Structure formats: structure tokens, C-alpha cells
């Protein structure tokens, strides 16, 4: 049902079961579990899509508002790799959303639920005595992995591979995920702030949106760190826009997305040149690919499955790059760089890529794995790539800190 503006959506979240998909104050927050489904392995997307179709087919839906995000929805977070491929779809009990001037609340359950009282919750507590340590590999060890990748790239075995590393944060007490979510939403409002089943972050990359027949995808590849000096950053942006290494990396990523979407679209628009996307800590080369959904109407989850993994998070050729990641990266990515987002009963929705992200340990709640990755091509310098990865840790690392 449509409601008056409830204020900042992220402030409505209770201390348990919180889920988010927000950008610039718009989107969805949700809590409670009306139903959930965990899928695994290579068939994780197809199995989840089948389960969701069955849920949507049997549901009785009363949607008076009829804007994207109203009615029956689910939020999902999917693993990067096929093995073990642990993924999840959650149908929340309560959803509160905003799109433009329209605000709404949805309740979902096997029996009618009362409309909840929507009030800003007390501010969450900061993590207690947070410490950071290297994850699977130290910085020096990861540089060695990058050198190995560059050797294979220079030998012509593949064009690009995306390598990631992790950082471990540990607190004395369980971490209230609403603390980093609030800070990410405030500091990175141009990104999509998300949280599903312990996986949270602020991603700048929209993998795919499907809305009333229009399919869109934002491709990011090619990065440079900001200095905080606006004049100097403009110079760096111009340098990024002319960088042959970054333009080559970006072209691979755009081609990967366009080729994956083409079978599902009757027409497509792929801009010839990227623009520079300015974020608080880094700048990216960006391209928005758009298309018109073709006959058959693949759902947003099926489109996400077709796109994953794109060259932006895997490499080119994708199959060879993913095999190299499994061989040399030295860690399980879990749901990092996998699709995360929401969809409705009609197959519309949005899925981003779980970048600038972290995962809370479900067993103790005190440990968080932070993730960051870099696109490696033949001209990559391991020391520079490590610095880029460190820059990409900054959003979540800063959001977790008590300062």
C-alpha cells in the first residue's frame, strides 16, 4: 500500500533480518523471512529461477501501487564460482520502498500481516575493537600471483583476468550490519548499497536491470585512485580516459556484456566510447549498455545468469580466465563479484555485482571478510594493482570503522 514518506529508509531497519537495495535514498529495505531458497553449484541460477516461478505462480498478490519494487519480491545473492556455489533467495515479510515521490509498504506471508509502524530505529552501535589482517594472501604474496598472471597474459594465453584478494576484520562482539550500511549509504550514494544474508557492500556496477521491456547494464572496467584534489583529479580522469591499458580492459568488459545480452534483446545500443564515473575514492571508465527485451521475455535473474561472470569480474576469454582464477587466486570468493539484487513476480528487477563488499561470518558474527579485485592485462604492474585493490577496500573498511 502507498504511504506517506517515512524518512530515510535505511533508518527503519530493525536489528535482525535486515535487507537493503538502495541508491540515493531510493529502492528497498526489508526484514523478516516469509520464504527462502538456497541453491548450490552450477545450477544455482536455474534452480532459484524455477523456485521463484513456482512461488510467484501460487501467490495471491494485491498491488495497488504498481511501480518497480511493489508487490511480491525476493532479494538474492549468488556465488561467483560454480563450486561450491552457495547462493540464496529470500522473500521478506516486510518491504518498504521509495521511487521518486512514491513510498510504499508491502507485507508478505502465508496469512495476512498487520502493516507495521514505521519509525526510525535507534542508531546501531559501532564495531568494538575492530582489527584488520591479511586474508588468504599477504600483499606480497598477491603481487606474486599477479606476476604469474602477467606471465600467462604476455604468452598470449588469454587477454585479461580479474584477480581478487580478501582482508579479514575481527571485532570483540558481533557486528551490527546496519552500522556499515548506514555509512555506505551516506558516503557512496551513487552506488547501490546492499545487504542480503550477511553479504553487504556498496556496488558501483549494475549488472542488469529489466523494467517494462527495457534491459540495461552498466559496465565498469579501468580504475584510477582519486587524490582529493579536484583539479588534480580532473587531470587524472583525462589520463584514465586516454589510457590504452584501461581502454583495452574496458573494451573487453563491454564486449562481454553486449555479447551475453544480444540473444535476449531485439535491439541494442552500445556506446562507442566510455565516460568517467567519479566516486568518492576512485574513478572508473563506464559504459551503459541498453537493449529492448526480445520475445520470450527472460527474467532479470535469467539475464543476470547469462551475464555472469562478465569480463569485468572474470576476464577474457571468460572460460580460460575463470579457470585461471580457480588455479592461482588462492581463495574462495564466496558471493563476492556474484549477482546481488531483487526481482518481482513479473521477472523485472535489478541485479548488481557484489563489489566493494564484505561477508559477515554467520557462525560468530564478529568476523567479516572484505573483498577487492583488479583487472589484470599484459601491461599490468603488480605493485600498482595492489595499490588499486587497497583503494577498493576503503569503502567497506571505512564504513566498519568506529571513527
Decide: 395 and 281 in contact? Cβ < 8 Å.
yes
- pLDDT of 296 > 80? The answer is no
Percent of the residues in the chain that have a pLDDT greater than 70, as a whole number: 100
| Coil vs helix vs strand at 144 | helix
Beta carbons within 8 Å of 62's beta carbon, 6+ residues apart:
none
Beta carbons within 8 Å of 289's beta carbon, 6+ residues apart:
216, 217, 218, 219, 254, 257, 258, 261, 268, 269, 270, 271
- pLDDT of 295 > 80? The answer is no
Cell representation of residue 320 = 580460460
Q: What domains can you pick out in the chain, each with its CATH number? A: 2-114+127-400 (3.60.120.10)
Question: Quick one: DSSP state of residue 356?
Answer: S
How many C-alpha atoms does 123 have within 13 Å on its Cβ side?
6
- Could you report the per-residue pLDDT of 327-381, keeping only the tens digit for each? 999 999 999 999 999 999 999 999 999 999 999 999 999 999 999 999 898 889 9
pLDDT value, residue 251: 87
- Could you report the per-residue pLDDT of 21-46, keeping only the tens digit for each? 999 999 999 999 999 999 999 999 99
- Could you report the per-residue pLDDT of 218-232, keeping only the tens digit for each? 888 888 888 888 889
Residues in the chain: 403
What are the residue numbers of the active site?
160, 205
> Rounded to the nearest 5 degrees, what angle is found at the Cα of 23, between the Cα atoms of 17 and 26?
80
Cell representation of residue 235 = 587531470
- Taking the C-alpha atoms of residue 160 and residue 152, their distance in angstroms, rounded to an integer, is 10
- Taking the C-alpha atoms of residue 307 and residue 82, their distance in angstroms, rounded to an integer, is 14
Per-residue confidence at 212, pLDDT binned at 50, 70, 90? confident
The pTM of this model reads 0.92
With residue 278 as reference, give the H or E element that holds it: strand 275-278
- Taking the C-alpha atoms of residue 328 and residue 344, their distance in angstroms, rounded to an integer, is 38
Mean pLDDT on 237-253: 87
- Taking the C-alpha atoms of residue 278 and residue 284, their distance in angstroms, rounded to an integer, is 7
- Taking the C-alpha atoms of residue 101 and residue 273, their distance in angstroms, rounded to an integer, is 34
- Could you report the per-residue pLDDT of 136-162, keeping only the tens digit for each? 999 999 999 999 999 999 999 998 899
215, β-bridge pairs: 210, 291
- pLDDT of 93 > 90? The answer is yes
First to last CA, the chain: 39
DSSP output for 33-88: -SEEEEE-STTHHHHHHHHHHHHHHH-----SS-STT-SSEEEEE--SSSSS--EE
Amino acid at each position: 500500500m502507498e504511504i506517506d514518506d517515512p524518512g530515510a529508509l535505511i533508518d527503519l531497519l530493525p536489528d535482525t533480518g535486515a535487507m537493503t537495495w538502495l541508491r540515493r535514498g531510493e529502492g528497498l529495505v526489508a526484514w523478516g523471512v516469509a520464504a527462502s531458497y538456497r541453491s548450490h553449484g552450477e545450477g544455482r541460477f536455474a534452480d532459484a529461477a524455477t523456485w521463484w516461478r513456482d512461488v510467484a505462480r501460487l501467490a495471491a498478490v494485491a498491488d495497488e501501487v504498481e511501480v518497480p519494487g511493489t508487490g511480491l519480491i525476493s532479494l538474492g545473492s549468488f556465488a561467483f564460482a560454480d563450486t561450491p556455489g552457495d547462493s540464496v533467495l529470500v522473500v521478506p515479510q516486510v518491504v518498504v520502498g521509495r521511487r521518486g515521490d512514491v513510498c510504499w509498504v508491502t507485507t508478505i506471508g502465508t496469512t495476512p500481516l498487520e502493516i507495521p509502524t514505521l519509525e526510525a530505529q535507534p542508531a546501531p552501535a559501532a564495531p568494538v575493537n575492530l582489527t584488520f589482517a591479511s586474508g588468504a594472501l599477504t600483499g606480497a604474496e598477491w603481487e606474486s600471483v599477479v606476476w604469474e598472471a602477467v606471465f600467462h597474459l604476455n604468452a598470449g594465453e588469454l587477454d585479461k583476468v580479474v584477480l581478487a584478494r580478501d582482508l579479514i576484520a575481527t571485532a570483540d562482539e558481533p557486528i551490527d550490519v546496519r552500522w556499515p550500511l548506514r555509512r555506505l549509504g551516506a558516503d557512496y550514494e551513487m552506488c547501490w548499497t546492499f545487504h542480503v544474508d550477511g553479504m553487504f557492500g556498496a556496488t558501483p556496477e549494475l549488472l542488469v536491470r529489466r523494467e517494462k521491456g527495457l534491459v540495461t547494464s552498466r559496465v565498469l572496467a579501468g580504475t584510477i585512485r582519486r587524490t582529493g584534489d579536484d583539479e588534480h583529479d580532473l587531470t587524472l580522469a583525462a589520463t584514465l580516459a586516454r589510457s590504452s591499458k584501461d581502454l583495452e580492459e574496458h573494451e573487453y568488459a563491454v564486449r562481454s556484456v553486449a555479447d551475453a545480452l544480444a540473444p535476449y534483446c531485439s535491439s541494442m545500443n552500445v556506446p562507442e566510447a566510455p565516460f568517467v564515473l567519479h566516486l568518492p575514492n576512485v574513478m572508473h571508465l563506464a559504459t551503459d549498455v541498453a537493449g529492448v527485451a526480445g520475445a520470450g521475455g527472460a527474467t532479470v535473474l535469467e539475464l543476470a545468469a547469462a551475464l555472469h561472470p562478465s569480463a569485468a569480474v572474470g576476464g577474457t576469454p571468460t572460460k580460460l580466465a575463470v579457470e585461471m582464477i580457480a588455479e592461482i587466486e588462492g581463495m574462495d570468493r564466496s558471493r563476492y563479484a556474484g549477482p546481488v539484487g531483487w526481482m518481482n513476480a513479473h521477472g523485472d528487477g535489478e541485479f548488481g555485482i557484489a563489489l566493494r563488499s564484505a561477508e559477515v561470518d554467520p557462525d560468530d558474527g564478529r568476523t567479516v571478510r572484505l573483498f577487492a579485485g583488479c583487472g589484470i592485462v599484459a601491461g599490468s604492474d603488480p605493485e600498482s594493482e595492489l595499490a588499486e585493490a587497497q583503494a577498493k577496500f576503503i569503502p567497506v573498511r571505512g564504513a566498519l570503522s568506529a571513527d
